[in-house]
């Protein structure tokens, strides 16, 4: 089947919000193939604990590719305990230069409660402005909503949940079945 004939896996929305000493990563549960919802309860946010060091990661893109990247991130964290930013940079370097990893199609939001980072296959490790990061098909909707909600009395989890609800109302590849993980606060 030629690439243009394949309907393609679409969607997801992952958001990371840092507010009041807490960092929350939330993700929806929808997996779509073309115009069909394949699953509505997928877990795209995971807690990693390499060497007892707590990290939360959310992924958008191919699930198998994301799991490969999460395994690699865990290995990097074991090699550099307590240094999420360094481990993320090492992962991004490998992702950019390794011929096998270059083909992976996913993005990650990761946090250790201190750093909040977006890791891409282009070799980017980005610290978001305004303490909000979002990826996936509904990412821009969730990002805009969360930035507007940051000035309210909502805590980090409240901002993430409300922003995800707004994204789910707009993006057909995002649903309201959330997985939410928090660190700090």
Spatial separation of the C-alpha atoms in residues 150 and 4, rounded to whole Å: 40
Residue 152 a catalytic site member: no
Spatial separation of the C-alpha atoms in residues 143 and 159, rounded to whole Å: 10
Spatial separation of the C-alpha atoms in residues 175 and 155, rounded to whole Å: 22
Specify whether the CB–CB gap between 50 and 71 falls below 8 A: no
Specify whether the CB–CB gap between 24 and 181 falls below 8 A: yes
Q: Tally the C-alpha atoms within 13 A of residue 124's C-alpha that lie toward its C-beta.
A: 12
Give the tokens for residue 107.
């993005």
Specify whether the CB–CB gap between 71 and 97 falls below 8 A: no
Strand partners, 116: 111
Which positions are annotated as active-site residues? 12
């Amino acid at each position: 089947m030629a690439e243009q004939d394949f309907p393609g896996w679409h969607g997801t929305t992952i958001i990371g919000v840092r507010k009041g000493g807490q960092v929350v990563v939330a993700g929806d549960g929808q997996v779509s193939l073309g115009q069909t919802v394949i699953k509505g309860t997928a877990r795209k946010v995971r807690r990693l604990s390499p060497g007892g060091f707590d990290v939360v990661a959310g992924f958008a893109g191919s699930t198998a590719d994301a799991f490969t990247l999460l395994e690699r991130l865990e290995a990097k964290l074991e090699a550099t305990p307590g240094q999420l930013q360094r481990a993320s940079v090492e992962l991004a370097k490998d992702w950019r230069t390794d011929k096998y990893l270059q083909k992976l199609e996913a993005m990650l939001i990761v946090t250790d409660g201190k750093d909040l980072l977006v890791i891409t296959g282009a070799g980017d490790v980005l610290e978001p402005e305004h303490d909000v990061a979002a990826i996936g098909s509904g990412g821009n909707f969730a990002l805009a909503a969360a930035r507007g909600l940051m000035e309210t009395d909502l805590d980090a989890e409240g901002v993430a949940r409300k922003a995800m609800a707004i994204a789910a109302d707009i993006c057909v590849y995002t649903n309201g079945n959330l997985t939410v993980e928090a660190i700090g606060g």
